[in-house]
Structure 1
Amino acid sequence: PKVAEFIKVGDSILIDDGEVGLKITEKIDKYTFLAKVFKPGIIKSKKSVSFPDTEIELSVFENKKNKDLLKFIVQEDIDYVAVSFVQSMLHVLEIKEFVEKLGGDQWIMSKIEHRSALRNLKEIVKVSDSIMVARGDLGVEIGLDKLPVIQKKIVDFCIRYMKPVYIATQFLPSLMEKPYPTRAEVSDIANAIIDGADGIILTNETAVGKYPVEAVKLAKKVVINSVKLVYSKPLADRYIDTTNKIVAEHACHIANKIENSIIVAETETGFTAINITRFKPKRSVVVITNNKRIARNTNILWSVKKVLIDESVINKIVHEEKLRELLKLSDKTVVYVGSPILKGKTTMINILQI
């Protein structure tokens, strides 16, 4: 009900990612309005409702169900919390604080889908663990003509601040009804990857579409072909402005130059793994950590093929024998990256033959 306090005459209400549109024409009382339909359509159940012209300043926990949902997430040991309609860094920090009080350490994925989030993008990216560009509501909020440029800017921000970023919504809408895509849809997937996104998220195509398996197979093929261009021009090279980034970039460069090599990232916090994967290495990345949450969460990072959990390795220089035992590999050059002393840093490269 408190949302109504912020709505004004002249504001728009958009339903189902803009499929239905109304304009407020009169405010009868605190919670009652008259609206004129300017975009008619069928209003289906459980569809989104957005107010692109309205600045809504409410706590994340204004909806009491959010606390119950977060309690469930922590109790069930779910890895990520995807937060809808983030408008400022305070929304993210509210959730992080609540999760920590519950004893959780879940990573927060902030969904960028509101105009306010774009104004506060830098702060939101810095305090989030990862970002989702939720193009459905975002396109409704800012207009489809602006969406491609805004998407690229968000991805670029995430590359700069070393945060994984994923693009969601309407990649293959044709596969809702037929088993083949348009050329524009295929190009959309490719461009998201070439721009530097860590991955794409299919939504209605797999949730309610007629060809969910075909959609996943096709998207995978397009991504695999698109990464070849990414390898030729890593975008993170533009933002090598810290010692951590310099070490990570050199590790990727060394591994890319050595045939039959892999990168091993030792990490307690996930920082080194994220740091390495920002540079989109050609070689597979193996993450070694003693933190089960980090082990699971880093599985979705770029080039990460295997995650190992080993208490004895953390904060120690790894020797060839130990790596051979852990990786169960032979005749490989290992570019080992980590920080034997400083937690949350990337300070060491060690090249080993196993």
Structure 2
Amino acid sequence: MAASASPAAAAPPPPFARALSSSTSRLFALPLPLHPTRHKSPRIAIRAPIATRSSLISDPAAAAAAAAAAAELGFDAVSEAELREKGFMGMRKTKLVCTLGPACGSAEALERLARGGMGVARLNMCHGSRDWHRGAIRALKRLNREKGFCVSVMMDTEGSQLLMADHGGVSSLKIEDGSEWLFTTEKFEGSRPFTIQVNFEGIVVGDELVIDGGMVTFEVVEKVGNDLRCKCTDSGLLLPRAKLSFWRDGVLVERNFGSQPYRQRGIDFIAVSLVKDVDDIKHLKNYLARRSLDSIKVIAKIESLDSLKNLKEIVGASDGVMVARGDLGVQVPLEQIPAIQREITLLCRQLNKPVIVLLSFLNQWLNTLLPLVADVSEAVRQYADALMLSAESAVGAFAEKSLSVLRMACGRMELWNREENQQKLLSQHQLAVSLPDRISEQICISAVEMGI
């Protein structure tokens, strides 16, 4: 359309408008990454002049003009509201992903999460029925259409895990160390004391059962008919329909769940669980391409030793990466997780790929008001493109509060990062005197900043 317009109409938009267009697009508006000012590639380092950036914050008229430009560019309701309130430099760059579940399944709860900053809704295929997932997708699309939001849908596939329910309640259950529980495949309504429903196969006496990446651990001590009697070896909280994996002789035992419902309409991203090598990503991408579904972006979940061994190839072949700290903690010593997260994030920055960090950092918010935001701050400082709530939003008692704290923590850390970077620039001493030398000096400084 630009080619047929008049020369005056074809003039490029102001710098801040171009930056706004790239920074408030969907979660992964590829080939541009989530953070246009964070990545080091010169083709995406779009920055407004200092005067323009400062005026957007201090001058209400400039902020209103920017908001009008945002409306013309088709921004969603949340991004436009942030722009009007804070100006471009005050807008939050870190995207927020929320896992949907019983705590936020209604249309009203979804709208509150969307207004609170949810940019992507994650559907965990390990939990809930296919009909429930379809209903959630329809509700999200209706919300986008009627309320002006732009919430994308991510389908998180099943991996080597079993579905497990507790005594039938909707809240978490405290499992004490040394207590014995009966794991049964029998289906029953309500709850039974010290009984857990689970669809297992192939588990034998001596196996170690790890729930939700280490929230609770059991050892199988006896087989009772078709059921298993297990002893808790590491106490913790048991969530409704939690993930379960089992180990035998120090090796994780995997289970094949067969075909996934990739044909489900309305999906924007597929997060692939337990990626072993690059072939897992290529196979799925070929599958989607053959069915004309290549608009769906493939996210590789890094949650096993195999994925760490083939990390660079997996990141290069995927459209984005999710760092599943909880699942990694099952196979990797916990003290190594922060360093591994930093390494993965740095590699994604180098390869220009978006990265989501799933920390389970607010598990204390499931039933209490004791947030831990240190991990949030560290992930933002590492320039993670998105942070994800899991059980906090799916089954937690404070889903909206968790999202609010996450949003505020991201905004605060981004502000501190900008101030820190500005101080670093201010501390540089100008050495050149003549104009040609000063130009050369600025080129060198810019090259260093871009990592060339």
- Normalised by the length of structure 1, the TM-score is 0.54
Alignment root-mean-square deviation, CA = 3.7
C-alpha distance in structure 2 between counterparts of 1:44 and 1:172, whole Å: 14
C-alpha distance in structure 2 between counterparts of 1:160 and 1:102, whole Å: 31
- Residue 110 of structure 1 is aligned with which of 279, 296, 300? 300
Q: CA deviation at 1:207?
A: 1.3
Q: 1:177 to 1:34 in 2, by over 3 A?
A: closer
C-alpha distance in structure 2 between counterparts of 1:199 and 1:17, whole Å: 21
C-alpha distance in structure 2 between counterparts of 1:6 and 1:112, whole Å: 26
C-alpha distance in structure 2 between counterparts of 1:7 and 1:154, whole Å: 33
Partner of 1:95: 284
SS at 1:210 equivalent: coil
1:128-173: CA deviations, max 9, x gaps?
A: 1001111121122213221111111111111111110011132222
Letter in 2 for 1:214: K
- Residue 413 of structure 2 is aligned with which of 211, 220, 226? 226
Q: 1:26 to 1:206 in 2, by over 3 A?
A: closer
- Give matches, 1:153-164, under 5 Å: 153-164=343-354
**Aligned residues of 2:245 and 2:252 also touching (Cα < 8 A):** no
Partner of 2:112: none
C-alpha distance in structure 1 between counterparts of 2:251 and 2:204, whole Å: 8
C-alpha distance in structure 2 between counterparts of 1:175 and 1:110, whole Å: 27
Partner of 2:318: 128
Q: CA deviation at 1:40?
A: 5.3
C-alpha distance in structure 2 between counterparts of 1:180 and 1:57, whole Å: 35
Larger relative CO (CA 8 A, sep 6+): 1 or 2?
Answer: 2
**Aligned residues of 1:7 and 1:54 also touching (Cα < 8 A):** no
- Give matches, 1:17-96, under 5 Å: 17-22=213-218, 38-39=233-234, 46-51=241-246, 53-54=250-251, 62-66=256-260, 69-72=261-264, 76-96=265-285
Letter in 1 for 2:234: K
- Normalised by the length of structure 2, the TM-score is 0.43
- Residue 192 of structure 1 is aligned with which of 379, 386, 389? 379
Partner of 1:208: 395
Query: Unaligned regions of 5+ residues in structure 1, if any?
Result: 235-252, 258-278, 280-354
Q: 1:95 to 1:25 in 2, by over 3 A?
A: farther
**Aligned residues of 1:81 and 1:109 also touching (Cα < 8 A):** yes
SS at 2:312 equivalent: helix
**Aligned residues of 2:304 and 2:327 also touching (Cα < 8 A):** yes
SS at 2:387 equivalent: strand
SS at 2:210 equivalent: strand
Point out 4+ residue stretches in structure 1 off by more than 6 angstroms: 2-11, 24-27, 31-36
Q: 1:122 to 1:56 in 2, by over 3 A?
A: farther
Partner of 2:363: 173
Q: CA deviation at 1:200?
A: 0.7
**Aligned residues of 2:271 and 2:301 also touching (Cα < 8 A):** yes
SS at 2:301 equivalent: strand
Partner of 2:84: none
C-alpha distance in structure 1 between counterparts of 2:286 and 2:302, whole Å: 20
Aligned length: 226
SS at 1:48 equivalent: strand
Partner of 1:303: none
Q: CA deviation at 1:175?
A: 2.0
Query: Unaligned regions of 5+ residues in structure 2, if any?
Result: 1-159, 162-199, 423-441
Q: CA deviation at 1:192?
A: 0.4
| Structure ID, larger Rg | 2
C-alpha distance in structure 2 between counterparts of 1:48 and 1:134, whole Å: 13
Letter in 2 for 1:46: R
1:56-109: CA deviations, max 9, x gaps?
A: 688xxx42241xx1122xxx1411001111121111111111111111011111
C-alpha distance in structure 2 between counterparts of 1:228 and 1:85, whole Å: 35
Letter in 2 for 1:50: S
1:187-237: CA deviations, max 9, x gaps?
A: 211110101211211111111111111111111111111113444559xxx
Partner of 1:245: none
Letter in 1 for 2:302: I
- Residue 15 of structure 1 is aligned with which of 188, 203, 211? 211
C-alpha distance in structure 2 between counterparts of 1:121 and 1:6, whole Å: 30
Letter in 1 for 2:282: L
